[in-house]
Amino acid sequence: MIDKARSTAKANGVSWRPLPFLVGCDILAFDGKDILEFFGANLKPRENGEKACAELVALSKAFAQARPDILVMVIVGKPQLDESSGLLGRTLPPCGRCRGNMKYGYNLPPGTLIVLAPLEENGVREYLTLQDIWDKKGDKE
């Protein structure tokens, strides 16, 4: 799944930056009958333009098709400062907007497994639950 998320980011991500900031997401889900897979890449073609985060692109595809149970979400990208919490992690977790949408829009369970990995081959991987990420970033109810 990590390699698929990397491929999706590199093939489909759009970034205005000279050194592109690319993020990929791969979701495995269960619709009650089948295991399904959904992909997303970040899109931000202009510096001050709207962004579409890889996580929300993939979740939108999943929920448009099936409203499935999300089993695992893999997110790859280069770590950057979190706009909401001001924290810089070892990996790239979902941004504050994505975390809010996962919690309130898509109602993902707190125990949803999230795998965070670098865009390139080498680097730290983290295996967390969505609740772990909410707690680390100081997200409140």
Domain ranges of the chain: 2-136
Residue with tokens 């089948």: 34
CB under 8 Å to 81, separation ≥6 — which residues? 87, 88
**What is the CA angle 28-50-26, rounded to 5?**
10
Please compute the mean of the pLDDT values over residues 76-100 and round it to a whole number.
88
| Range of weakest confidence among 7-16, 76-85, 103-112, 115-124 | 76-85
120: nearest Cα among 28, 43, 23? 23
Distance CA 73, CA 58 (A): 9
102: nearest Cα among 127, 139, 47? 139
Contact yes or no for 46/17 (Cβ under 8 A): no
Each residue's pLDDT tens digit, 20-57: 899 999 999 999 999 999 999 999 999 998 999 999 99
The architecture in CATH of the region 2-136 reads 3-Layer(aba) Sandwich (3.40)
Give the dihedral of Cα atoms 19, 23, 116, 58; nearest 10 deg.
180
